[in-house]
Amino acid sequence: MRNIRLLIEYDGTNYAGWQWQKNDVTIQETLAKAIERVIQEKVTICGAGRTDSGVHAIGQVANFKTNSNISSERLIHAVNFYLPHDITVKDAVDAPESFHAQYAAIAKVYRYTLFNDWIRTSLNSNFCYICGFQLDIEKMTEAAGYIVGTHDFTSFTTKAVQEKNRIRTVKKLDIIKDGKYIYFTIEADGFLYNMVRTIVGTLIEVGRGKISAGDIKGILDVKKRKLAGPTVPARGLCLIEVKY
């Protein structure tokens, strides 16, 4: 039996996230149905990250097992034929039988896009959060330094009770301003529910002067969600890469 590894990109605007749900359309379900039409087999799609409703990806990884002998190149074209235009399989390769997209991952990279202007943008509105406040990038970068490292991120998740182990290692957190856009790129060995969006929301509060950069350490230490900033909207978040 073959184990096929996929690289997928999608616009998550019209989907209730990655993971299969009973009463909503999801990326996982839509992808599985397209694959099944091509290979004429039932498949179980395992994704590297369970992106939430409205979250996008250019580097989602998934795998499935099949008895089909269709070549990887033909599989890409055939599956994309049956997929809607907001989901695309970018690559497909045969992987070792033991490969699992989620459990084999050692790190994930997300990017959050902020449009920093008091006049909204229409052309890119599904892929960024529009924030009109003046933001101090230097203070935000200083605050980001406290988040990098190994910490208990209870204060930065909205479902802490569901995660027994809330310790994660943030390997990188870069903030880059390019014109009216501000990009937050964060790499970690794993993420809690809404962790990236809450970190960004907290850094925005630092940039506004509502929270000082030095307060971040105390927010981490106290392990109380109410002390961190708001959870920013899903539309600005994109899964960039999964590392193995």
Of 52, 86, 152, 215, the catalytic one is: 52
How would you write the chain as a 3-class SS string?
Answer: CEEEEEEEEECHHHCCCCCCCCCCCCHHHHHHHHHHHHHCCCCCCEECCCCCCCCEEEEEEEEEEECCCCCHHHHHHHHHHHCCCCEEEEEEEEECCCCCCCCCCCEEEEEEEEECCCCCCCCCHHHCEECCCCCCHHHHHHHHHHHCEEEECHHHCCCHHHCCCCEEEEEEEEEEEECCEEEEEEEECCCCCCHHHHHHHHHHHHHHCCCCCCHHHHHHHHCCHHHCCCCCCHHHEEEEEEEC
11 is annotated as an active-site residue? no
Backbone φ and ψ of 112, nearest 5°: -110, 130
Residues with catalytic annotation?
52
